[in-house]
């Protein structure tokens, strides 16, 4: 009887030790997967703040810590041992790229053309993992929306300040799938923007706005919309603010939608060591907005926003 009790006691001790070891291992594992994520904002404006708030809310139920940092005055110590940095906007991306030492970077709300031409090269110094979620929508999605909303349109115009390699070819290919032609022009140096715009509008049925800061900015937007209106050519924009400013409709992703996709990427990337980010991509979640007043003025009748979103597979 005594022997049986001893054996049982020994077995219980082994179970207790095994349980304690498993508990320690679980604690170590939890500590290993917990990571600090630095969200670097270009400034304190509402869109950037909204991206940060969505990321933080999404990761609240995880062991990860999210800290907010601003591009102005960014230093290596201000990242506070972050395992991954999210750069929200071009200015934040450039500030991170200027640091001599930095964690892997995910740039979001950045134009694709800028990232391919400039941002990616600057961030890749040092060989760390880098990626991006673009501000602009994929050309295939834009072409599909044009065909759904404007069945009579045949030629799509686009004006760029520079021509990144392959960009025009990609758009041309996407438009051809929807039986649409492309009319484009490139602005270089100090040439007059309106002259190039009129060259495009004279041969186009619709103007596709792309997030090129030399073409569409606060100083040029009004002239661009007025000129397009004079030519009776509708504009497809890339943000809700452009819809309000005069674009007939826009295909865009809100800061909340970008924040959601960013949080999903971040949560997946920081599970591993080292951090592995997916390749750069266009927004997964998107919406359509219509300026009804402009539509009436130009004589267009469009399907409702919700219907267009549903047919495009968006509206999330």
Look-up of token digits 């391919």: 116
Sheet with 84-88, edge to edge strand ranges: 65-70, 36-41, 84-88, 105-110, 130-134
The pLDDT of residue 265 is 97
Lowest average pLDDT, out of 28-37, 104-113, 170-179, goes to 28-37
The pLDDT of residue 217 is 84
DSSP assignment of 221-264, as one string?
Answer: HHHHHHHHHHTT--EEESSHHHHHHT-SEEEE--HHHHHHHHHH
Residue 9 burial (10 A CB sphere; 0-12, 13-18, 19+): exposed
- Say whether pLDDT at 246 is over 90: yes
Q: How far apart are CA 313 and CA 316, in angstroms?
A: 9
Report which secondary-structure segment, H or E, holds 2: helix 2-33
Confidence of residue 22 (pLDDT cuts 50, 70, 90): very low
Q: How far apart are CA 282 and CA 112, in angstroms?
A: 8
Of 265, 258, 266, 261, which is closest to residue 47 (Cα–Cα)?
258
Q: Which domains does the chain have, with CATH numbers?
A: 32-135+255-269 (3.40.50.360), 139-252+286-312 (3.40.50.2300)
Report the predicted TM-score, pTM, of the whole model to 2 decimal places.
Answer: 0.83
User: How many Cβ atoms sit within 10 Å of the Cβ of residue 129?
Assistant: 17
- Say whether pLDDT at 131 is over 90: yes
Confidence of residue 88 (pLDDT cuts 50, 70, 90): very high
The pLDDT of residue 98 is 92
Confidence of residue 129 (pLDDT cuts 50, 70, 90): confident
Instruction: State whether residue 237 is helix, strand or coil.
Output: strand
82-119 per-residue burial string, b: 16 or more CB within 10 A, e: under 16: bbbbbbbbbbbbbbbbebeebbbbbbbbbbbbbbbebb
Mean pLDDT, residues 28-53: 83
- Say whether pLDDT at 20 is over 50: no
pLDDT digits (tens, 9 = 90+) for 256-305: 999 999 999 999 999 878 898 999 999 999 999 999 999 999 999 999 99
pLDDT digits (tens, 9 = 90+) for 150-160: 999 999 999 98
Instruction: State whether residue 293 is helix, strand or coil.
Output: helix
- Say whether pLDDT at 194 is over 60: yes
* 299 to 150, 155, 206, 207: CA distances (angstroms): 12, 18, 14, 16
Q: What is the mean pLDDT of the chain?
A: 87
Q: How far apart are CA 158 and CA 164, in angstroms?
A: 13
Mean pLDDT, residues 94-122: 91
């Amino acid at each position: 009887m005594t022997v049986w009790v001893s054996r049982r006691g020994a077995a219980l001790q082994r179970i207790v030790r095994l349980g304690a070891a498993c508990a320690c291992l679980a604690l170590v594992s939890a500590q290993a997967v917990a990571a600090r994520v630095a969200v670097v904002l270009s400034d304190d404006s509402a869109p950037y703040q909204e991206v940060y708030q969505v990321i933080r809310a999404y990761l609240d139920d995880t062991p990860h810590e999210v800290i907010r940092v601003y591009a102005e005055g960014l230093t290596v110590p201000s990242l506070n041992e972050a395992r991954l940095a999210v750069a929200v906007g071009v200015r934040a991306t450039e500030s991170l790229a200027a640091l001599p030492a930095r964690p892997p970077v995910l740039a979001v709300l950045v134009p694709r053309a800028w990232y391919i031409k400039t941002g990616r090269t600057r961030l890749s110094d040092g060989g760390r993992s880098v990626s991006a979620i673009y501000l602009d929508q994929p050309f295939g999605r834009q072409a599909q929306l044009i065909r759904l909303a404007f069945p009579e349109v045949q030629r799509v115009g686009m004006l760029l300040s520079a021509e990144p390699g392959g960009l025009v070819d990609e758009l041309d290919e996407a438009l051809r799938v929807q039986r649409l032609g492309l009319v484009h022009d490139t602005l270089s140096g100090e040439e007059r923007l309106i002259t190039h715009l009129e060259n495009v509008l004279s041969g186009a049925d619709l103007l596709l706005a792309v997030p090129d800061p030399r073409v569409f900015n606060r100083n040029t937007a009004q002239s661009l919309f007025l000129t397009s209106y004079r030519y009776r050519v509708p504009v497809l924009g890339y943000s809700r603010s452009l819809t309000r400013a005069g674009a007939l409709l826009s295909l865009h992703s809100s800061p909340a939608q970008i924040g959601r996709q960013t949080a999903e990427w971040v949560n997946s990337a920081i599970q591993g060591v080292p951090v592995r980010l997916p390749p750069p991509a266009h927004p997964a979640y998107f919406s359509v907005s219509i300026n009804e007043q402009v539509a009436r003025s130009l004589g267009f009748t469009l399907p409702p926003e919700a219907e267009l979103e549903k047919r495009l597979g968006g509206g999330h």
